[in-house]
Amino acid sequence: MSKLKTETLEAKIVLLETYLLQKESINLKISKVNVGWHIDHSLKVINAVISTMQKSNPDEYEDNFKLLGKLLFALQIFPRGKAKAPKHVKPPEIILNEDLIHQLALAKKQLQQIELLDKNAFFKHPLFGNVNKQRVLTFLNIHTTHHLKIIKHILV
């Protein structure tokens, strides 16, 4: 596991936290949803991915990572507006500060658990296929960066 990738994701989680006071900000030219939605969604993804990997059966892992995933990982980007968030990582209508603070604390704690995962712990991504321990930090960094960029553009 890359300590640098872990530290990078940790810094991004801290950066998400700095936007809490601006969670109601919105710019419909940039995004249909507000800053709070992007913070909540990013944290839900981090927490759900790690939790799913902790519960996964490494014996069931199959390397079926798709070309699209390899391409986007190589480019270190996710295109804007091309994918829909699955229901379990969609924020609620009303996003409470207490919920965001809880999710932030959980994400920081969960991040430390990645190192303890089996190398074949995985989660199934709807477009990319199975994402294992080797790829998870890259995925989470790209995904979080994607939403941080949107937040920054909303606030400009």
H-run or E-run covering 49: helix 35-55
Mean pLDDT of 70-97: 92
Cα–Cα distance measured from residue 109 to residue 114, given in angstroms and rounded to the nearest whole number? 10
Mean pLDDT of 67-76: 94
Cα–Cα distance measured from residue 53 to residue 65, given in angstroms and rounded to the nearest whole number? 16
Whole-prediction pTM value?
0.95
Is residue 56 a contact partner of residue 123, using CB atoms and an 8 Å limit? yes
pLDDT exceeds 70 at position 8:
yes
80: which strand partners? none
* Interval 91-122: pLDDT, tens: 999 999 999 999 999 999 999 999 999 999 99
Give me 76's structure tokens. 């270190």
Domain locations along the chain: 3-155
pLDDT exceeds 90 at position 129:
yes
| DSSP one-letter code for 2 | -
Mean pLDDT taken over the chain: 95
pLDDT exceeds 90 at position 128:
yes
Give me 30's structure tokens. 């940039």
pLDDT exceeds 70 at position 146:
yes
CATH topology of domain 3-155: Four Helix Bundle (Hemerythrin (Met), subunit A) (1.20.120)
Tell me, what's the pLDDT at 1?
Answer: 58
Cα–Cα distance measured from residue 130 to residue 120, given in angstroms and rounded to the nearest whole number? 10
Mean pLDDT of 115-143: 96
